[in-house]
Amino acid sequence: MTLKVLISDPLGQEGLDILDATPGVEAIVETGLKGEDLRKKLNEVDAVIIRSGTTLSADVLEGNTRLKAIGRAGIGVDNIDLDAATRLGIVVMNTPSGNAITTAEHAISLMMSAARHIPQACAKLRAGIWDRKMVGTELYGKTLGIIGLGNIGSLVVERAQGLGMNVVGFDPFVTEDRAQALGVELASVEEVIERADVLTLHVPLTDKTRHLIGAEQLRRMKPTAILVNAARGGIVDEAALADALEAGEIAAAALDVFEQEPPDPENPLLKSERCIFTPHLGASTREAQTKVAVDVVKQVCDFLLKGEIRNAVNAASVSADVLERLGPWLTLSQQLAALLGQLHDGAFERIRINFAGEISAQETRPLIARAVAAILRTGIEELVNEVNALEVAKQRGIHVEATRTAETRDYASSVTITIEGPERATSGTGTVFGQNEPRIVRINDFRMEPLAIHGALLFAVNRDVPGVIGRLGTLLGEAGVNIAQMSVGRTPEREGMALTVVALDGPASDETLAAMRDLDVICELRQVLL
C-alpha cells in the first residue's frame, strides 16, 4: 500500500524531490488548509509535514485513526497539540538542528542592530536625514544574559563569546559540567535578568514560559539593557514591554516574533522608536530552508518505512543504529508482554519491567514503550502504540516501573515483565538466543526450557505425574492439531506441580480446550495467540 504524506505548508523543493523519489510514498501538496478541510484531509494520509503556518489543534486531530506521524520543518511545536497527538498515538518529530545556526545568527544580528541603532539610522538616511548623533553601545566586555541553553542558545553563546561578551545563563536542564564546557555562568532567572546588558530568550512557548518576561521582570532589568526575542511570540508580555520602553525602564528591544502574527497594526511596539523587529525571519535563509526540508522528509519517510524515530518530541527517539541493535529485544518485549497480558486474570494495577545483564546498559525506553503497549492492547479497545502507551497507562492509573540489573545468573541478558493486579501477579522472563531468536525461559515460578514466542501456545499447570504429555497429545492429535514444540517447567515453590507449554501449528478449538481442561491432571489451562 502506498503511504501518503500531506505537505500543508510551503516546503523546500529539495525535500519534495526526495519524497517524489522514495518508493512507496506519495506526496500530496495542499497548503492553506484549515478547520474541517484540514481535519478531513488528515484522515486520508499517513503523515503530515508542516511549518509554522498550519495549526494542528485537538479538534483537528481528534478521531483520526490513520495519521501516524507529524513532521515539523523547524524546531517550534507550539502549533501542535502534543497531548492530543500523543493520546492518539501520533509521533511528532521536529528538526532542531536544521535552522539552529540561522536562528542563532539572526538573534546576534538583532542584538547588534539594536545596540547600534542600525534600522533607525537606515530609515533616517533613506528619508534624507544625515544624523551622526545616533550613539550606540559597544558589546565587547558586556554581559549577555541568556535564558535557554539548548541547540540555538548554545550557538548564540559561542557567537557572543566571539564578540568578547561574558555570558550568564539559566536553563534547568543544563548541568554545571555542561555550562562550564560552554563557558556559561549558571544563575537564577532573576539574577540573569538583573545582570544582563543584553537579555536573549531561547525557550519554547509553554504554559510555564508564557509571559516569562513581564512587567516585574522588565523592572528588574538595567535601564541600559536590550531585550532580544528570536524564539517564540508570547514569551514576552508585549503590553508590558511597550510600557517599559515608553517609561525608559530598558533601553531597547529587538523582536523577530509576536504574540499575534502578523501583529495588529495598532500594536504600540510597532510605533516605538526603541523597538526594532523582523517578521519571523529567524529561520529564513536558503540554507536553513533546504536543510529543514530535507531533514523532515527523511525523518518522516524513515519512520513510515522503517520504524526509525529521530527527533521525536513525544516519544523515545530510535535511530537506525539503535533499531538494528535492539531489534530482537523489541520483538521479545512485545511478544513476552502480549503473552503475559493474555495469561493475566483481572485488572492491571502495575507493570514492572526489569532489564538484566548486557541489555541493561542499552537504551531501554523503546523496549518499555513496546512492552506496555502490547500489554494494554490485550485489555482495552482504544488505539495503543509505543507513542501513547505510557500516557494511556497513566490515565488509567496503571503504574509503570522499570529497573536495571547489571548482573544476571543464567543468561547474558534477559527481560522480566510482571503484571500486578489486586488479586494476583503474572510474571515471565525472556531472552534472545543467537542474533535474533527471542525465547521465553520462565513463567511465574516455573523455569522452563527456552521456547519460541509466536503462534498458538498452550499453558497448562498440571500435576507432576506420568502421562500428562501423552494425554494432551492424544486430544490434540484427535483434533488434527499438530504439536510444533513442547517445554516442561518445575518449581520448588509448588512441589508436585509442573507447567507444560505446548507450541501448536494452529490454534486449538474451544471443544479441544474444554476436553483438555476436563482431564483430572490439569489444574489450569490457557491458550495464548500471538
Task: Exactly one of 39, 195, 280, 439 is catalytic; name it.
Answer: 280
The pLDDT of residue 318 is above 80: no
In a domain, 311, yes or no: no
Is 106 found in the same domain as 241? yes
Give me the helices (H) in 147-276, please.
151-162, 176-182, 189-195, 215-220, 238-247
Catalytic position from the list 44, 261, 358, 524 = 261
In a domain, 282, yes or no: no
pLDDT at 324: 80
pLDDT at 8: 97
Distance CA(138)–CA(358), nearest Å, equals 56
Q: Give the end of a domain, one of 416, 444, 472.
A: 444
Q: Please indicate whether residue 452 or residue 207 has the higher confidence score (pLDDT).
A: 452
Domain that holds residue 383: 317-444
CATH number of the domain that 485 lies in? 3.30.70.260
Candidates 232, 274, 344, 370; catalytic one: 232
State whether 322 and 415 are in the same domain. yes
Quick one: 336 and 411 in the same domain? yes
Is the residue at 283 inside a domain?
no
Mean pLDDT (whole number) for 45-50: 98
Q: What is the mean pLDDT of the chain?
A: 93
Asked if 368 and 485 sit in the same domain, the reply is no
| 261 given a catalytic annotation | yes
Same domain, 302 and 376: no
Asked if pLDDT for residue 382 goes beyond 80, the answer is: no
**Integer Cα distance of 30 and 10 in angstroms:** 9
Split into its structural domains, the chain has a count of 4
Task: Tell the residue number behind the cell numbers 484427535, with chain if given.
Answer: 478
Active-site residue, 232 included: yes
Task: Summarize pLDDT for 220-237 with one digit per residue, the tens.
Answer: 999 999 999 999 999 999
Q: What is the pLDDT of residue 277?
A: 97
- My answer on whether 104 and 67 are in the same domain is no
Same domain membership, residue 255 and residue 172: yes
- Alpha helix ranges (H) inside 185-237: 189-195, 215-220
Q: How confident is the model at residue 83 (pLDDT cuts 50, 70, 90)?
A: confident
Q: Any idea what the CATH number is for the domain that residue 424 is in?
A: 3.30.1330.90
At 274 the pLDDT is 96
What distance lies between CA 427 and its chain's CA centroid?
A: 29
Domain co-membership, 369 together with 302: no
Identify the weakest region by mean pLDDT among 19-23, 212-216, 388-392.
Answer: 388-392
Residue 48 has pLDDT above 80, yes or no: yes
Q: Are residues 189 and 78 in the same domain?
A: no
164 and 255: one domain? Answer: yes
d(CA 458, CA 456): 7
- Per-residue pLDDT averaged across 406-430, rounded? 92
CB atoms near residue 27 (< 10 Å): 19
What pTM value is reported for the model?
0.69
CATH of the domain at 59: 3.40.50.720
User: Which one, of 401, 418, 399, lies nearest residue 343 by Cα?
Assistant: 418
Other beta carbons within 10 Å of 397? 10
Q: What was the pLDDT predicted at 381?
A: 66
Min mean pLDDT across 170-174, 244-248, 360-364 is at: 170-174
What was the pLDDT predicted at 396? 82
Q: What's the grid cell of residue 270?
A: 510597532
Q: What is the structure's pLDDT at 300?
A: 97
317 has a pLDDT exceeding 90? no
Distance of alpha carbon 199 from the chain centroid: 30
**Is 185 inside a domain boundary?**
yes
Chain centroid, CA 29 distance in Å: 26
Comparing 189-203, 219-233, 344-358, the range with the smallest average pLDDT is 344-358
Clarify whether residues 130 and 261 are in a common domain: yes
Sequence-separated (6 or more) residues with CB below 8 Å from residue 131 = 121, 124, 125
Kindly report, residue by residue over 426-461, the tens digit of the pLDDT.
Answer: 999 999 998 789 999 999 999 999 999 989 999 999
Residues 394 and 354 in one domain: yes
User: Is 117 in the active site?
Assistant: no
Distance in angstroms (rounded) separating the CA atoms of residues 342 and 458: 12
